[in-house]
Each structure stands twice: as structure tokens, then as C-alpha cells.
Amino acid sequence: MSDKRLRYGFTPQEQRISALPSTIMGILILIFIVSSGIGTWRSDNTDLVLLMEIGTIGTIYLIAFNFFFIPSSTLESVLGLINAIASVTGLCLLTYALPAEADIYLGVLFITLIITSALISGRRASYALLFFTLLFTTMIRQDYFAAVSDFAVRIGIAVIAAVVIETILRLRKQSRDHIHRLEIIADFSRAITSSLETKQVINLLSAAFRNSIEADAFFVGMREGNEMRLELLYDDGEFYENQRVKLEGSLSGWVLDNQKSLFLPDLRKEVHLSHVRLALAGRHKNSLSWMGVPMRGQNVDGLIAISSYHPNAFDHADLELLTVLAQHAAQTIDNTYHHAQVEYQSRIDSLTNVFNHGYFLKLLESQIETAGKEREPLSVIMLDIDYFKQYNDTYGHLAGDEILRNLCNIIKGHLKRTDAVGRWGGEEFVISLPGANGVQAQQVAERVRASMLKLCVQNHEQIAIPVPTISQGIAVYPLEADKTMRLIDLADKRLYVAKERGRNQIEPEESYWEKNLQVE
């Protein structure tokens, strides 16, 4: 929120504009009271000099208060106190200067000043103005035992003043809440425009919820088959990760299936929704208020939901805010998915679905840097299909492409999550094995070689055709090379040694690693 905002939620300029009508009305009433006092109550020993002085000073004060005091941020902390003291003082002096017949006009002026106070000062200063004005004016009139009708008039004015204060404060609160919601939406929209990751959007949603809606729990979920994966789950002060819930029979499932918002202000009452049963996620507490809105996009099928352990905790304004946030989030998450797909495609070889040469080289450099910091080995396997050109010439390029795809699937089937495989060029591939020494790399290479020998491939006529063999070369960081390109170059040289030894070979042989195991 802008640093120019007052603690009541509005800028000084907004405060001045809102108080201007009541200020003008107060000036007009004050002028009327003074002129009436001079013309009507002259015979009642009215102190005309005092009355004119009060009227002049009061008018000057109201003008100065509206045009100078309210716009001044330096007076923010004492603005209500200044106005209350000035208003009580002025009303008491007018009460002293005028006869009791003028009290009805003083009452109207009093209500006008109460309106101004409620608009710019808040509840505490306004009720202070109400209490002390009634107290001191009653003491001035010395009508402690006044007629019941006069007492009732004073009580009536006090009640009207209290109603005016509460009405204005509630309207101002609604305005502040509406402004705050607009600010939340604007801030969220600005923040997510540069978001390229789904996780970042979810985190921004979490911040928006906590800043805008008082909820005990909220979650963002994505449909995955018959389940919902919770991208974010906050419940009673704690965040939960990797949560999944069944959609069947749930409120979330109803929202996703019907693509409609659902607002349940009091879950103590029976929920009349077909095939819905209430389920818990997070802490084992019963939610008594629940709202959910769908979050739908080209690549998004999810929802946002908030809940409270108290009934009637939310209103339709909260539902509207949640709906707008969901719309913005769905569009942005769609963009993040699209960006992720583009990013993924830029890293992947389109035929074999493994990393391309450029990206794999960057990844390998990063893995070697990490291995150096953690003082762990990293093995690289260079792999090439034997006589692949002749194979393409004999069985066609479609059969050759099928071999490339099958080989990559075989390689990926023998790798861990931290391992990687990339296409180095043509029929040559490179495998990185972080944390693996030479013996472990030898075992991976042997499994890939053996699996390749078992592969069955058919041509377009569904006739079985032979499968080519593969040759592989292994090098280990930092035992044999301490730089990325030196490591690859060594593995590549050993690959050609394997070919020279007759192909379908792995270089070095297993005995080499057994001799050098202690060195590693």
C-alpha cells in the first residue's frame, strides 16, 4: 500500500474530499446559528460578541481543518484528538452563549461534526466527541433534572450520533476492504506477469491469500485422474507438501466436475449436493466455512479453495476476490506450462527424446562442478552404434530411427534420476553418471550392451530384422581427467579403442577398474 495512505486506509486528499460536504454543512449551520442568535435571541441577553467570535473562529477552523489540517500527513497521529477537542470546545461555548431554545440547532451542528469526525478520525475520537459534548453541555445547562421530554431529546441525539458513527465506519470499512482487494489483485497481477515457473505462481497465490482473506486453511490443487495433487496446502499455521486426495464425493470434485464456484458459509447445515461427502486434508479439524473456485486453462484443470473453522467466516466479496485470483493464476500457469514445454523442447533431441548436444554439455559441466565440491567421482560413457551407416543403407532410415529410439529407451531404463543421457551427434551418445566410479560405470555399460543384444525390431512389413551392436568408452572424473572436455575426449578415444578391438566392446575392460579401484 502507498506510504501516503493514512491508518484509516485513505490518502489525505481522499479524506478531505469525503469530509468536504459535512464541513460545508457545518459552516452553513454555524452561520445560521449566529445570525439567528443576533436576530432572534437579542432580548434573551445573548452574549452577541461572544457568539460572533465563536462563529468567526468556528468558520475559520472548519475551513482550515478541511483544507490544511486533513491534507497534512504530519498531523495524522493527532488529527482526531485536535478535531474532538476543538469541536467539544466550540459546542460548549455556543451552548453557553445561546439560550436553550437554540439547542435544536446545536444538535444539528453536533450531528454534522460527528459525521466529520467519523469520516476522518475513526471510532475512538468520535465517541469521545459524543460523550464529552453531552456531558459538558448538560453541565452548562444545569438541567440534571430537566423534563423527561428534554432528556429524551438529548438521548435521541446521542443515539442518532452513535448510529451515524457506526454507519459511516462500516461503509468506510467496506470501502477500505474493496480497495484492499483491488490492491491485492493489482499486486498479484503485476507479480505474476514475470513468473515463468508454476511454483513461483503458487507461492504468490499463497502470499495473496494471507494478505487478503482471514482463513484457517487454503489449498491449490490440480486434477490428476481421479485424484487431486495439492500444489499448496496451508492449514492452521502449517504448510504441507506432496498431499493427494481423492476427488470422488468431495467438494473439490464437485467444483472441478461442474466448473462452478461453490460457497458454503455454514457447514453445520446439511450440504445438498449430489454424490458429495465431506473429507479432511491437513489437520483433523472440521471446517465450518468453505469456498472453492475452478482454475481452468488450456493446460490447467484445478481449483483454489479456502476454509475456516468458524461459520460465516467469508462473504461474497471474498468469493469474488478468489475468483479473480483464480482466473489470473490459471492464465499465468498456462503460460508457465507453455514456457516449460518450449524450454524442454529446446533441450531435447526431437528424434530420441534425450538431451541435445548443447544442453547436455552445460548439464555435464554443472554436474562436474558439483562433484568437485562434494569430492565425489563422476563417470562418462561415450556410446556409438556399430556400422550404423551400413545398417541404414541396408534396412532404411526408418529402421535406423527406430534403433536410435529403442537404444535411448534402453539407456534411460538403466539410469538413476540423477544420471543423464544426451545425443552427441548422429548415432553417438554420451551418458553422465554422477557419483559412479569406474566399476559402477562398467556395470551400467554392460547392462546397456546386454539389453541391446536382446532387442527385437521389425520393419514396416512386420518382419524381424537384425539389431546392431554398440561400442562404449568410459572415463572417470577426477581420477583420469579434471576438466569436462578432457573427460569427454578420453571417453571418446576409448570408444574408438573398443571399436578397434572388434566392436560390441567396452573400453577399458573390467580388469582395468578393479586394478584402479583403490586409486579412486
pLDDT on residue 236: 80
Position 287 pLDDT exceeds 60 = yes
Confidence grade of residue 71 (pLDDT, cut at 50, 70, 90): low
pLDDT on residue 72: 61
The larger pLDDT score, comparing residue 314 to residue 279, is at 314
Order the strands of the 428-434 sheet from edge to edge.
420-425, 428-434, 378-385, 470-477, 506-507
Q: Rounded mean pLDDT of 299-326? A: 87
3-state secondary structure of 376: coil
Domains with residue ranges and CATH for the chain: 12-180 (no CATH), 198-343 (3.30.450.40), 357-516 (3.30.70.270)
Q: Rounded mean pLDDT of 437-456? A: 94
**pLDDT tens across 359-398, in order?**
999 999 999 999 999 999 999 999 999 999 999 999 999 9
Comparing CA positions, the residue from 161, 48, 150 lying closest to residue 94 is 48
Lowest-confidence pick of 62-76, 214-228, 257-271, 506-520:
62-76
pLDDT on residue 283: 54
Q: 19 vs 8, 114, 117, 120, 433, CA distance in Å?
A: 14, 11, 9, 7, 73
Q: What one-character-per-residue DSSP string does 343-356 give?
A: HHHHHB-TTT-SB-
Looking at residue 100, the DSSP 8-state letter turns out to be G
pLDDT on residue 440: 93
Q: Rounded mean pLDDT of 498-514? A: 89
**pLDDT tens across 164-205, in order?**
999 988 888 887 777 777 777 777 777 777 666 777 788 877
Place of cell 554436474: 367
Position 506 pLDDT exceeds 70 = yes
Position 280 pLDDT exceeds 70 = no
Give 136: exposed, middle or buried? Use CB within 10 Å, 0-12, 13-18, 19+: middle
Residues 6+ apart with CB under 8 A from 508: 438, 474, 494
**pLDDT tens across 112-158, in order?**
989 888 888 778 888 999 999 888 888 887 755 555 566 677 788 88
Which range scores top for mean pLDDT: 71-80, 136-145, 453-462, 511-520?
A: 453-462
Comparing CA positions, the residue from 458, 494, 459 lying closest to residue 474 is 494
Q: Rounded mean pLDDT of 38-67? A: 74
Place of cell 460545508: 24
Q: What is the mean pLDDT of the chain?
A: 83
Which range scores top for mean pLDDT: 287-291, 299-303, 440-444?
A: 440-444
- Which residues pair with residue 219 across a beta bridge? 233, 305
pLDDT on residue 119: 83
Percentage of the chain lying above the pLDDT 90 cut:
30
Q: 101 vs 32, 87, 144, 161, CA distance in Å?
A: 14, 20, 17, 20
Rounded to whole angstroms, the Cα distance separating 187 from 112 reads 38
Q: In 10 A of CB 286, how many CB atoms?
A: 10
Residue 307 backbone dihedrals phi, psi, to 5 degrees: -150, 165
Rounded to whole angstroms, the Cα distance separating 106 from 149 reads 17
What is the C-alpha R_g of the chain?
A: 40
303-316 burial code (b ≥16 CB/10 A, e <16) = bbbbbbbeeebbee
Angle 79-97/48-64 helices, nearest 10 degrees?
Answer: 160
Position 516 pLDDT exceeds 50 = yes
Confidence grade of residue 40 (pLDDT, cut at 50, 70, 90): low
pLDDT on residue 1: 39
pLDDT on residue 410: 95
Residues 6+ apart with CB under 8 A from 496: 473
Percentage of the chain lying above the pLDDT 70 cut:
88
235-256 burial code (b ≥16 CB/10 A, e <16) = beeeeeeebebebeebbbbbbb
Is the CB of residue 236 less than 8 Å from the CB of residue 244? no
